[in-house]
Structure 1
């Protein structure tokens, strides 16, 4: 599996677009999970890049986290607000694992408070989902052409130009 830092190194083009879009939307992304009945669920989420991790944090006891507890697969999509995707668009695919490291949780809570004023310091995080990235793709307009970049672990990014 691939951590956030490993992903940034292996897929610099896609990770740059993701980081740009993530910041532009106030950290908002859309998380796709699988419901208990097997149908997809799409939920808003504000993932955070912290230390070497991509953390899928949010309100505890939500259905999206129940989905991930049952089936750790996910797709994370940057929130698209521009139908022309002039600023790019990214999908990350992967699985999550619950990383129970109280020192990491407290550093995360402290950083979140310093960044946003949202105070979760001293709270217990159960679960604390960290992403293992298993693939990614991006869409970007370059010189008026649509380019799709695809990445899988162990491979270089591959750019496909979409012809009219």
Structure 2
């Protein structure tokens, strides 16, 4: 499965659908540079890698060094999950994760504009556009967990776990 059958939204669509939630999510992801990316290897087993996320014109992007395993994983199957800076938050900050489908940008003109704008470490670096399938936060609220879950066409749903 390549993720083609999943309901997805761009970051811009997500931000329009759930503006306050999007602000919270972006704040958590921009508070630190380093996050944890989960991809699928060709044999279907998981791979966990460090990753940085970037925003450009309300588009969420994932960059990678040339030929990295995570880039090769995403080329084969674009499904991914990212956990925002696990372990770096205080108890007051929610645990933040997003999932979706990454698509590599291969158009020469788009890549040239990205290289001029972003100045990646190498002109051979990979650029992926990210579409979202799920965004979730988990926070301790008194004696229970407060979970906020967003999915396309469903909006944000909040619920508690004791």
What TM-score, normalized by structure 1, do the two folds share? 0.80
Gaps of 5+ in 2: 1-7
Distance 1:85 1:112 in 2: 34
Summarize the alignment of residues 26-65 of structure 1 with structure 2, pairs less than 5 Å apart: 27-65=33-71
Deviations 1:14-44 (A, max 9, x none): 422322222222x221110011222111101
Q: 2 CA distance for matches of 1:154 and 1:76? A: 21
Cα distance change of structure 1 residues 57 and 92 upon mapping to structure 2, 3 Å threshold: same
Name the SS of the counterpart of 2:28 in structure 1: helix
- Quick one: which of 17, 20, 24 aligns to 2:31? 24
Which has the larger displacement, 79-88 or 16-25? 79-88
Aligned residues: 155
Partner of residue 156, structure 1: 155
Give the aligned CA root-mean-square deviation in angstroms: 2.4
Distance 2:46 2:98 in 1: 16
Q: TM-score of the superposition, structure 2-length normalised?
A: 0.81
**Displacement after TM superposition at 1:52 (Å):** 2.9
Point out where structure 1 has 5 or more consecutive residues left out of the alignment.
Answer: none
Is it true that 1:9 corresponds to 2:16 in the alignment? yes
Deviation of 1:77 (Å):
1.1
Separation in structure 2 between the aligned mates of residue 61 and residue 119 of structure 1, nearest angstrom: 13
In structure 1, distance between residues paired with 2:60 and 2:115:
14
Higher strand share: 2
Distance in 2, Cα, partners of 1:153 & 1:2:
6
Deviations 1:139-159 (A, max 9, x none): 134577531001110112001
